[in-house]
Structure 1
Amino acid sequence: MRLPAEAVAATALIEVVRISALPTKQGAPYPGRVVAHWAGNEASNALALIGSLPSGEQHRCGFSPGWSVRAYENSLELALFEAAFCFNCHEIRMHGTAVPPTPATQFFDADSPPAQALLTLFRAATP
């Protein structure tokens, strides 16, 4: 998966969100409960794992993401980016101040070992 390199380098904190619905307008945060905060090595390792997701084919499900990550720099004001993951249609949608329009929608191999490791992290973070 392609992540915005400058945003990854600037990330100080990641919020893990258990998504409850789709946003009501484009560019708005995905609604849901923040279930975890990752900082330091935990954030770096998660971003490396996300960055290692292999490309995949689109599947049809209507995009029903279960989790998202929001990356923040030290100021913790606006999210650099938010990436929402749908493990059914193998789609990732990103938006945020550091996201160019080109990689905003990507497809990944949800059955790959990195994707399954990420799903395990998400599930472990969700009470």
Structure 2
Amino acid sequence: MLLPARAVAVTALIEVVRVSALPATPDAPYPGEVVGHWAGDEVTDALALVETLPGSAQHRCGFSPGWSIRAYEDSLELDLFEAAFCFTCHEVRMRGTAVPPALTTQFFDAAAPQAQALLARFREVARPAR
């Protein structure tokens, strides 16, 4: 999967969002609860994992993403990009100031080990502390 290279290079923090609905407008963030944050090596590892997601053909489900990541630079003022993942239709939709039009919609193999590892990371960060 392709991510905006300049944004990846300056990402300092990732918010992990449990998506609850589709955004009201195409430029709006995906609504949902921020369930965790990744910083430092977690950012590097997570973005590297996303970049290794193998492509896939489009599947039809109506796009109902369960998770998104929002990438921020050091200032934390404006998100560089957000990627919302639908593991049913194998689609990723991206938005944000750093996202060129060619990257806004992509497809990934949700059954691939990389995708399952990413899903496990999402679930782990969302798990309540015991």
TM (norm. structure 1) is 0.99
Which residue of 2 is the match for residue 58 of structure 1? 58
CA RMSD of aligned residues (A): 0.5
Q: Which whole-Å CA distance do the structure 2 matches of 1:8 and 1:42 have between them?
A: 13
User: How big is the shift at 1:126?
Assistant: 1.4
Q: Which whole-Å CA distance do the structure 2 matches of 1:48 and 1:35 have between them?
A: 21
Letter in 1 for 2:32: G
Q: What runs of 5+ residues in structure 2 fail to find an aligned partner? A: none
User: How big is the shift at 1:26?
Assistant: 1.0
Q: Which whole-Å CA distance do the structure 1 matches of 2:126 and 2:40 have between them?
A: 20
Q: Which whole-Å CA distance do the structure 2 matches of 1:59 and 1:125 have between them?
A: 27
2:9 corresponds to 1:13? no
User: How big is the shift at 1:77?
Assistant: 0.6
TM (norm. structure 2) is 0.97
- How many aligned positions are there? 127
Which residue of 1 is the match for residue 24 of structure 2? 24
Q: Percent identity?
A: 70
2:104 corresponds to 1:115? no
- Indicate the SS of the match to 2:37: strand
